[in-house]
Structure 1
């Protein structure tokens, strides 16, 4: 892995982790603005905030700790599912373009972090000769 790719990976991963942790905290403490946006504007039940908040925290732990590449793959997939779900939810209710920025940025950071991850953080397959 080149030094450039390592820097890209860690910058994207740190920003991704920071974004996921900060939004998870807002969701877990059920900040008034977040509850209003989720329940009234998007139509999801309030308990949904607890579920996705916990998922985000677990995902951050998974992508930051060494080893367990399969768990990392699931964490990256979970982040992609969460962020595309957020984007489509805002799209479905006709929100302004500003509402897409947060989930869009986190989705881009997820893809960049996943793409530039070091070899030891990748899931490898064993090719068997037929």
Structure 2
């Protein structure tokens, strides 16, 4: 039988697994975008976006990862999660609108799911609601 302590410990472990996976995905795609990798550039232009947007999104992704992984700054964490949600849901929708293949759409879907799971599982000390009370 699980005690509340064991349950919280398990939740924290899952939080860090999903958060590190999400952070790795966001950081790696940010680096590819900042380096303006030719495949990523082709992907961006295929979606109808200007190439300079890759730099903007890449910088914001790296900053978001830093905020998510560091302690404190709860309001910034909420903004980072919201930004990740908007960027990745926008990417999924963009792929769907142009009729991209599942293989080209799946990475955005995976990152979107990881963002949602990480946000949902975050410990109480990483939530604004518990800090205000």
Structure 2 length normalisation: TM-score? 0.91
Q: Is residue 31 of structure 2 the alignment partner of residue 25 of structure 1?
A: yes
Comparing both structures, which one devotes a greater share of its residues to helix? 2
| 1:118 aligned residue (106, 123, 127) | 123
Structure-1 separation of matches of 2:126 and 2:118 = 11
Q: Is residue 68 of structure 2 the alignment partner of residue 68 of structure 1?
A: no
Mapping 1:28-39, distance limit 5 Å = 28-39=34-45
Q: Is residue 82 of structure 2 the alignment partner of residue 81 of structure 1?
A: no
Structure-1 separation of matches of 2:102 and 2:25 = 19
Post-superposition shift, 1:124? 1.9
Structure-1 separation of matches of 2:117 and 2:47 = 28
Structure-2 separation of matches of 1:29 and 1:85 = 21
- In the other structure, the counterpart of 2:17 is 11
Post-superposition shift, 1:43? 1.2
Structure-1 separation of matches of 2:28 and 2:97 = 25
- In the other structure, the counterpart of 2:109 is 104
Post-superposition shift, 1:15? 0.2
Describe the SS at the equivalent of 1:124: helix
How many residues matched?
126
Post-superposition shift, 1:37? 1.3
Post-superposition shift, 1:121? 0.5
| Larger RCO of the pair (alpha carbons < 8 Å, separation 6+) | 1
